[in-house]
Amino acid sequence: MQGNKPMFFERFTVFAHRGASDSVLENTIEALRLSCQRGDDAVEFDVMLTKDGVPVVFHDETLSRLAGVNRRIDDTTFDELKKIPLKNVYAVPSLDDVLDVVKAYYTPVNIEIKPSRTDLAQATTSVVVDALNRKGLLYQSPVKVLLSSFSQDALIQADRVAPHLEKSVLTENLTEADVEFAHRINAVAVHAPVQSMSRENVAYVKDCGLKMCLYTVNDPILAVKARAVGIDGIFTDKVKDIQKVLSQE
């Protein structure tokens, strides 16, 4: 936050989920760069640690789905990872390289801290914050930064080591406990599954002084409805389709 003024959610925000994943393989430097180049509102990506503690942008705990290799990210060093192509083409990017890209375009970022094991939660947050600091994005950042996580330990650590950064609580099933936890860690928003969209839930979250976002909204009709009921942002794999419909409303 800059002073008391929140940086995110001044208006309905369409987050490019894992970068421009409608056009390029998710969470790759190419997908993230394309999202920045086409001027998406904001870009979301996932971060976890390699065996040797390097923060990398990747969603799954293992390389099975994207590389056909049954190895865990946290059991693979960054040098080893560089030799394992995703879909025979792409490399798993380091967080540092991705931050260089978003910094070049001033694209607002939602960094989802995604510890691959519960015992890595605090370390993953600390390493992300270190990377932001290294890249000049921790204090007086030229780029808006929002941290989020499904991991409570990761978010508690974020509040401890970077209390000035905006944070969101990710949940798979919105409950009062999520809202209470959001207050405990001074979060600005909750990010809930699209199934949580209802006027009642939006009113409840807003009455509690929080913003509410939905993932993953790939149906333009649902995106229009989300904006109409007061949702503050959505995560989508289909930014172009969604923005087209939203702009016609």
Q: Judged by CB under 6 A, which of 40, 41, 74, 112 binds ligand G3P? A: 112
Q: Judged by CB under 6 A, which of 33, 144, 191, 238 binds ligand G3P? A: 191
Among left, alpha and beta (phi > 0; psi -120 to 50; other), residue 173 is: beta
Rounded CA gap, 44 and 28, in Å? 12
Site for ligand G3P in 208-237 (CB under 6 A): 215, 235
Query: Can you say how many angstroms the Cα of residue 61 is from the centroid of all Cα atoms in its chain?
Result: 16
What sections of 21-143 are H helices per DSSP?
29-37, 64-67, 78-82, 95-105, 121-134
129 token code pair: 């914050």
Nearer residue to ligand G3P within complex by CB, 220 or 233? 233
* Shortest Å distance, C-beta 206 to ligand G3P: 20
186 token code pair: 């001074």
Q: At what angle do helices 95-105 and 29-37 cross, to 10 degrees?
A: 10
* Shortest Å distance, C-beta 21 to ligand G3P: 10
Whether 15 contacts 81, CB under 8 Å: no
* Shortest Å distance, C-beta 130 to Mg ion: 20
Q: Judged by CB under 6 A, which of 148, 151, 157, 171 binds ligand G3P? A: 148
26 lines the binding site for ligand G3P (CB under 6 A): no
Q: How far apart are the first and last CA of the chain?
A: 31
Among left, alpha and beta (phi > 0; psi -120 to 50; other), residue 127 is: alpha
Nearer residue to Mg ion within complex by CB, 150 or 204? 150
**Contact characters 89-128, Mg ion, x per CB under 5 A:** -----------------------x----------------
Q: Judged by CB under 6 A, which of 170, 182, 188, 210 binds ligand G3P? A: 170
* Shortest Å distance, C-beta 172 to ligand G3P: 9
Element at 203 (helix H, strand E): helix 199-207
Q: Judged by CB under 6 A, which of 13, 14, 17, 76 binds ligand G3P? A: 17
Given the rule CB under 5 A, which residues bind Mg ion?
A: 46, 112
Query: Which residues in this chain contact ligand G3P in the complex, by CB under 6 A?
Result: 17, 44, 46, 59, 112, 148, 170, 191, 215, 235
